Structure 1
Amino acid sequence: MINFFRKIRQKLLAKNNFRRYLTYAFGEILLVVIGILIAFQLNNWNERQKQLKLENEYYCRLLEDVRLDQVQFTELLRLAQDRLTASNQAVRLLLNKEANKLDIGMEIALSTKAIYSDFQPNNSAYEDLKSGANLNIISDKSIIKALNKYFNKVEELKSIIMVNGKHAVDILFAHDDNFANGSNQASIKVGRFATGLEEDVKKSFLINDMEKLSPVMQARLLNESIEYVSVNTRQVELFSSILSEINILEKLLHSKCN
């Protein structure tokens, strides 16, 4: 191709046709400029395609993390709802003057099960995005805004959940005699002592399934069970709030992940 254009230039010069030579030279320069512009546009297009691919990968990674959080917080909400049901049942039983230690111990154990469990949102893709200038990869800034709102809310509500859970645990462990409140009896029957204690040790505890609480202990446990209702009600509200944010974010990211 280069030899072809060189021969044309030589012929024009040989004929001393300077005007036609200038026209040809201008055309040749124009072709070179057009070629450069096309190459530049192709390069930009390739870079843009790479950026779009990377952006989509981030959307899909974020979506995967959010869906893991959906599973996690759905389970945390279910546990809180189960605890709320159990704490209401404990109050219901304690309002009866003939409350059994074993029944109450079981319901209180269920009322406080995993109430102080720690949890962490899945944020590996989000943390990766925040490193360096990666946030600029996300063209839809509403996604960044929604992510910031979600993670800030989780951190804010997590502290409240943990404080409430600790309050319930402090009440639970304030008892000096867990046989008097039925806690040990319940644990020996169906709890951790059921598997942790060896059979001969378990048999040494003569548990009377119909043994009643003392009036003083019954009054104390009634007040404490009402506290468990309060704590679990709050936890249900907070986990529901987090889950609502997750569902909003999931829909946004689902629409972006191709």
Structure 2
Amino acid sequence: METGKTTRYFKYAIGEIILVVIGILIALQINNWNVNRMNTKEENTMLLALKKEISENQLLLKNEVERHTKAFNLLSELTSYISPQPKEINDVKLDSLIFAVGWLPRYSPNEGVINSLISSGKISLIKNDGLSSKISSWNSLLDEYNTTYKWTERDVFELLAYIKDKYPFRRTLKNFDIETVRNSEFKFSKEDLLSDLGFESLLANRIIDAQDVLNSSEKMYSFQKEILELIEKELEN
């Protein structure tokens, strides 16, 4: 091959290689752009579904926080009547306070979307690290709430077993919206019940755990609120 032709051949070959490389890079860039666009679209779809689920859960939890608060306040008021020489309390008032002993409000959220995100690994599509971190913490925070709920459940069983022969719990059914059931005909002594040290001790433990489950529910409410705020910011971008 002549020297001039050889030089032109190599220049042509190098040019072809450069064009191929550029073509590959452009193709990769287009592919990456398409992948990112699809991922962004899927992320938005997930965030909208997650927003809907947690918004509905937040409404449920708002009601339960109010119910936990009411139960705690009733229990605290009940313990104020217990002493070696209990002060006077009318039957209707006592029934409404004893009702709180067996009242167990519980938050049972919908978890379909959030559990799907976590189990499928699609949580990695969420670009906001703070948001994905909070979503990953969902189960641990819910487990904390459920644990405190189980403590209160245990307390209820212990208390009801303790007072079953000291107070006719049937008297509280009207507070559970069971109006058709007639009241108990068994007699009991309010003074004996409200001057009972064992009742006071078990009730004190019930109040401690009622406070814990209330705190846990409020913590969960704040947590969900933060998630919703982060989702809203992501959807606005």
1:59-208 equivalences under 5 Å are 59-94=47-82, 96-115=86-105, 117=106, 119-177=107-165, 180-181=166-167, 183-187=169-173, 189-191=174-176, 193-195=178-180, 197=181, 202=182
Structure 2: tracts of 5 or more residues without a match = none
Which residue matches 2:216?
238
Q: CA distance change for structure 1 residues 44 and 238 in 2, over 3 Å: closer, same or farther?
A: closer
Q: CA deviation at 1:214?
A: 4.3
Deviation digits for residues 64-94 of structure 1, max 9, x if unmatched? 2322332222222111111122123323445
TM-score by length of 2: 0.74
1:209-228 equivalences under 5 Å are 213-220=189-196, 221-228=199-206
Structure 1: tracts of 5 or more residues without a match = 1-17
- Equivalent pairs, count: 226
Q: CA distance change for structure 1 residues 33 and 94 in 2, over 3 Å: closer, same or farther?
A: closer
Q: 2:74 and 2:168 mapped to 1: Cα distance?
A: 15
Q: CA distance change for structure 1 residues 143 and 214 in 2, over 3 Å: closer, same or farther?
A: closer
Q: 1:129 and 1:186 mapped to 2: Cα distance?
A: 43
Task: Please identify the structure whose Cα radius of gyration is greater.
Answer: 1
- Contact 1:62–1:125 (8 Å) recurs in 2: yes
RMSD between aligned residues:
3.5
Q: 2:65 and 2:120 mapped to 1: Cα distance?
A: 35
Matched letter for residue 134 of structure 1: K
Q: CA deviation at 1:222?
A: 4.6
Higher mean alpha-carbon deviation, 94-103 vs 52-61, is at 94-103
Q: CA distance change for structure 1 residues 136 and 112 in 2, over 3 Å: closer, same or farther?
A: same
Q: CA deviation at 1:99?
A: 2.8
